[in-house]
Chain A
Amino acid sequence: MVKKIDDETMENICILAKLTLSEAEKEKAKEEMQRMLDYVEKLNELDTSGVKPLSHLFPSHNIFREDVITSQDNRDALLGNAPEKKDGQFQVPKTIG
């Protein structure tokens, strides 16, 4: 059956997706997602019993690289886009304590 998108579900989605919505946005998002899921529900009309999910299109496999060092020190370039950096590292808000 179609999942009912309630406030709690919406809250959880926002935690997973790391997004904040205003109350008005939340209502709109709920409604839109509900509509979309109702539509997606159509998939249940398709019989897929005994069918293996197709996650990779081609039967290619074992695409490997050899264990050989190919990178050089790119620290300055790497940090060039950092919003905040310190001592050759990316600076972020404190993660513990």
Chain B
Amino acid sequence: MKQYEMVIGLEVHVELATKTKIFCGCSTEFGKEPNTHTCPVCTGMPGSLPVLNKKVVEFALRAGLASNCRINQTCKFDRKNYFYPDNPQNYQISQLYIPICQDGWVEIKTDTGKKKVRIHEMHMEEDAGKLIHDEWADCSLVDYNRSGVPLIEIVSEPDMRNSQEVIAYLEKLRCIMQYAGVSDCKLQEGSMRVDVNLSVREAGSESLGIRTEMKNLNSFKAIARAIEGESERQIELLEEGKAVIQETRRWDDNKEASFAMRSKEDARDYRYFPDPDLPPVQISDEWLETIRKSLPEFREEKMKRYQEEFKLPAYDAEILTESRSLASLFEETAVSFGNAKKTSNWFMVEVLRLMKERGMEPEEISFTPKHLADLLSMLERKEINSQNAKKVFERIFDQDIDPVIYIEEKGLKIVEDLGRLNEVIQKVLDENPGPLKELLDGKEKVMGFFVGKVMKEMQGKANPESVRKSLAAGIEKVGIEKAGIEKRKAKE
């Protein structure tokens, strides 16, 4: 068999995290009762007209700048005409002729090294409604809550060669979009949707094979499986001397196979033309500059800074910056606490452990950074032991409790009550004359026995260092007294 290679390009739809839809004042909230977030505009009522949400343009600009795109400072909306029940006007308002962003790139890292994936364009458009298939009644039901939710479609060049690169590219895009604050990019909830354009060719060949477009990919795993499955199918066809047909295929992850979505009625001629209802968008240099300035520090810069400024190991810096929200939790805690290295250690061990145990994504973690900083300070001052500190942190992680109040209430604070400590020491020494004698005779090991006894008597609310100090003082006193008695005895 010949050697083949895959050529993959992606069309990624990202739902923008605006409060309202792209062309009307309906909420974009996910998971509500069908058709309750609708109005004449997003349901295609006769006579209704679209008005563009300014935030959508700003978010698209953020996304474009964050992925090194050239911005078209004058752009327009076009209508894409096709009939489908989830498309209430039977045209989708999108951008064909002049998209808002073009010619960008992102860098991905895989086992084989670093690589740039070029972005052909990024355009704004409206989402379609949702179709539910009623198996019993043999009909479909339409819900327009999602209709008009703003999307950007990110079209890559066919620069990827395997599923590993595809996943790396998607993770990179997700990271950029989350950092730029434009989308949460959840595949499961459909706020990030991926269509895979794939063709195969003989390894080393320069020309492109016939590609297919695959839809309905709901997880990174499904995407990887679909890529493997589709490339095998295409290679098989070529090996049998058959041709690959350019078509759209639907991936069925349960059957681990794709199926052609063809119909005579799919004319595939979208008759794009400029939407006369929407005047062009003009992005002034000032506006663009304001957006550029408002962009956050992205992951690469952050990783570099963590290593240089905080002296963190590369591995830690990489983990901590995986999500923007985790990174800012870390940074705020570190600033408040004053020791980045110790903060990082706590994150790398305790935060990641709880995140894993709770099955959470980094974006879902939310607690007040000062709470953890306060806890770390108390630990630093030895006002709490590390065992208790871990327990308290669980409460912070789950319920964001204030550790100062909590520790006080639960009586977990190590109290420096020297009077009480000396009483306890005296008591312990009195009760253990045997070991005391051994100690006074020079058996240093016995010291540990006394420290343990004292700590137990203090119910852990003593600083081991203080215990050691006071105990030594106490023993010395006993020793001197004893020596005095012996002297007196000798005199007598």
- A interface residues with partner B (beta carbon < 8 Å): 12, 15-16, 18, 55-56, 58, 60-71, 73-75, 78-79, 86-97
Q: Does residue B479 face the partner (Cβ distance < 8 Å to A)?
A: no
B395: chain A residues at CB < 8 Å are none
- Closest Cβ of chain A: how far from B321's Cβ, in Å? 29
- Closest Cβ of chain A: how far from B283's Cβ, in Å? 9
Give the residue of B18, B34, B85, B282 whose beta carbon is less than 8 angstroms from that of A92.
B85
* CB nearest to A56 among chain B residues: B279
Q: Do B43 and A78 touch across chains, with their CB atoms under 8 A apart?
A: yes
Per the bound structure, the CA–CA distance linking A57 and B455 in Å amounts to 86
- Closest Cβ of chain A: how far from B29's Cβ, in Å? 9
Give the residue of A55, A65, A94 whose beta carbon is less than 8 angstroms from that of B140.
A94
Q: Do B39 and A74 touch across chains, with their CB atoms under 8 A apart?
A: yes
Per the bound structure, the CA–CA distance linking A56 and B282 in Å amounts to 14
Q: Do B52 and A65 touch across chains, with their CB atoms under 8 A apart?
A: yes
* CB nearest to A63 among chain B residues: B279
Per the bound structure, the CA–CA distance linking A60 and B19 in Å amounts to 26
Give the residue of B26, B35, B84 whose beta carbon is less than 8 angstroms from that of A79.
B35
* CB nearest to B78 among chain A residues: A55
Using known A-B contacts A55-B276, A56-B280, determine if residue A75 contacts B38 with beta carbons closer than 8 Å.
Answer: yes
Q: Do B133 and A95 touch across chains, with their CB atoms under 8 A apart?
A: yes
B281: chain A residues at CB < 8 Å are 61-62
Q: Do A89 and B142 touch across chains, with their CB atoms under 8 A apart?
A: yes
Give the residue of A18, A55, A90 whose beta carbon is less than 8 angstroms from that of B274.
A55
A-B CB contact pairs (8 Å), 9 listed:
A56-B276, A63-B51, A65-B53, A71-B27, A86-B137, A90-B142, A91-B137, A95-B84, A95-B131
Question: At the interface, is chain B mostly helix, strand, loop or mixed?
Answer: loop
Q: Do B38 and A94 touch across chains, with their CB atoms under 8 A apart?
A: no
Give the residue of B19, B57, B132 whose beta carbon is less than 8 angstroms from that of A89.
B132
Q: Do A65 and B25 touch across chains, with their CB atoms under 8 A apart?
A: yes
Per the bound structure, the CA–CA distance linking A88 and B71 in Å amounts to 42
Q: Does residue B33 face the partner (Cβ distance < 8 Å to A)?
A: yes
Give the residue of A18, A70, A71, A87 whose beta carbon is less than 8 angstroms from that of B38.
A71
- Closest Cβ of chain A: how far from B147's Cβ, in Å? 11
- B interface residues with partner A (beta carbon < 8 Å): 18-20, 24-27, 33-39, 43, 51-55, 57, 74, 76, 81, 83-85, 131-134, 137-144, 264-265, 267, 269, 271, 273-274, 276, 278-282
Q: Do B280 and A90 touch across chains, with their CB atoms under 8 A apart?
A: no
- Closest Cβ of chain B: how far from A27's Cβ, in Å? 22
- Closest Cβ of chain A: how far from B389's Cβ, in Å? 43
Q: Do B25 and A92 touch across chains, with their CB atoms under 8 A apart?
A: no
Q: Do B141 and A86 touch across chains, with their CB atoms under 8 A apart?
A: yes
Give the residue of B34, B54, B271 whose beta carbon is less than 8 angstroms from that of A64.
B54
**Given contact pairs A56-B276, A67-B54, a sample of 9 additional A-B residue pairs in the complex whose CB atoms are under 8 Å apart:** A61-B279, A62-B282, A63-B51, A66-B55, A67-B20, A71-B27, A90-B35, A90-B141, A95-B133
Q: Do A92 and B26 touch across chains, with their CB atoms under 8 A apart?
A: no
Using known A-B contacts A65-B25, A95-B84, determine if residue A73 contacts B36 with beta carbons closer than 8 Å.
Answer: yes
Q: Do B26 and A89 touch across chains, with their CB atoms under 8 A apart?
A: no
Give the residue of B52, B131, B134 whose beta carbon is less than 8 angstroms from that of A63.
B52
Per the bound structure, the CA–CA distance linking A61 and B98 in Å amounts to 15
B51: chain A residues at CB < 8 Å are 63-65
Per the bound structure, the CA–CA distance linking A97 and B102 in Å amounts to 37
Q: Do A96 and B267 touch across chains, with their CB atoms under 8 A apart?
A: no
Using known A-B contacts A67-B19, A68-B19, A71-B25, determine if residue A78 contacts B142 with beta carbons closer than 8 Å.
Answer: no
Per the bound structure, the CA–CA distance linking A84 and B140 in Å amounts to 11
Per the bound structure, the CA–CA distance linking A66 and B24 in Å amounts to 10
Sorted from nearest, which 10 A-B pairs have the closest CB atoms?
Answer: A70-B25, A64-B54, A89-B141, A67-B55, A55-B274, A90-B142, A71-B39, A71-B26, A61-B282, A92-B85
- Closest Cβ of chain B: how far from A72's Cβ, in Å? 9
- Closest Cβ of chain B: how far from A76's Cβ, in Å? 10
Instruction: Name, among A64, A66, A71, the residue most crowded by chain B CB atoms within 10 Å (CB to CB).
Output: A71
* CB nearest to B130 among chain A residues: A89
Q: Do A92 and B38 touch across chains, with their CB atoms under 8 A apart?
A: no
Q: Do B143 and A89 touch across chains, with their CB atoms under 8 A apart?
A: yes
Per the bound structure, the CA–CA distance linking A19 and B24 in Å amounts to 31
Per the bound structure, the CA–CA distance linking A63 and B52 in Å amounts to 7
Per the bound structure, the CA–CA distance linking A90 and B142 in Å amounts to 5
